[in-house]
Structure 1
Amino acid sequence: MTSTPRRFDHTGMQILDDTESLELLSSVPIGRLVFTMGGLPAVRLVNFVLDGDTLIFSTADGDKYRAAERGDVVAFEVDTVDPDRHLGWTVTAVGHLSVIDPEEAESLRHDLLLRPWAPNRDTYLIRLGIESLEGRRLLPWAQRPHQEAAGEGTNR
């Protein structure tokens, strides 16, 4: 059995493939939605579920809902970091938001067991279709490539 060789970026972080990135994305319940509000970046924590290559979360009528109504392009980021051991990973998904039709939303709420945190009235389900996915992992020191192995020469 041949394993795929690890790939690393210029900083020595391992580049994750889409399969591993999706697995990590589904392993945490909370992520950061990054969108535009009034021409400026905005970041909101949301609880979510992964349904195939689609992220689903609920929201009330507000900024996130309006971004979904417009079909805005957004980023969604999840991570885990161990500051004591200098280990961790991050996954960023990019795609367009959309509002899920109320009939489909009712079925999804039941099937996916998505529960909003806040006691929102008139909640809507929002979909983020993943169009781009990027993952990175900080490996233990002994598993990281040396500069020459990562394709970088030493600067003297």
Structure 2
Amino acid sequence: MKTKDESVDILSLAECWGLLGSLTLGRLITSVGGNPDIFPVNYAVQNRTVLFRTAHGTKLVSAAINHQVLFEADDHGLSQGWSVIVRGVARMLRTDEEIAVAEKAQVLPWTATPRQHYVRILPVQVTGRRFRFGPDPDVHEPR
């Protein structure tokens, strides 16, 4: 869907999930101690949810305690870029069955540190935009 600004397209839900599934690094945005915080995380898309692994620590605690989170992934090339935001509820996976399903996603860490806990973001809202790059429009030129 086009917006008033022809350089921005609103992405469909299917496009959003397709783009999210094309990357493995995104950002978890949450509140820690009443303050906003952001964490880069390796992730996978599984059954239209976002799944990541973490060690015991700030990301895990804030995701488990605060529940409501944002997750963002984006990418760009020379002529265009995109951004997808997932608003959702984060929950730590606890049962053997949940963990067995999560392990099939093969969320691979970038660093060699133990990440034995899985967190799944259950989406409440997914939005995305594609941006076409170009020169600034002439503010005096009529549209």
TM-score range, shorter chain: 0.7 to 0.9
Tell me the alpha carbon deviations over residues 85-106 of structure 1, each in whole angstroms, 9 at most, x when there is no partner. 3410100001011000141354
Query: In the alignment, what sits opposite 1:36?
Result: 31
Runs of at least 4 residues of structure 1 off by over 4 A?
A: none
Query: In the alignment, what sits opposite 1:103?
Result: 96
The answer as to 2:63 corresponding to 1:68 is yes
Query: In the alignment, what sits opposite 1:123?
Result: 116
> Where in structure 2 are there 5+ consecutive unaligned residues?
none
Query: In the alignment, what sits opposite 1:18?
Result: 13
Give the structure-1-normalised TM-score.
0.77
Identity among equivalent positions (%) equals: 26
> Where in structure 1 are there 5+ consecutive unaligned residues?
1-5, 147-153
Aligned residue pair count: 138
CA spacing shift, 1:53–1:31, aligned 2, 3 Å: same
The answer as to 2:81 corresponding to 1:88 is yes
Question: How far apart are residue 63 of structure 1 and its match?
Answer: 1.4
- Counterpart amino acid of 2:88? G
Equivalent residue of 1:119, what SS? coil
Larger Rg: 1
Give the structure-2-normalised TM-score.
0.83
For residues 24 and 122 of structure 1, the distance between their equivalents in structure 2, rounded to whole angstroms, comes to: 25
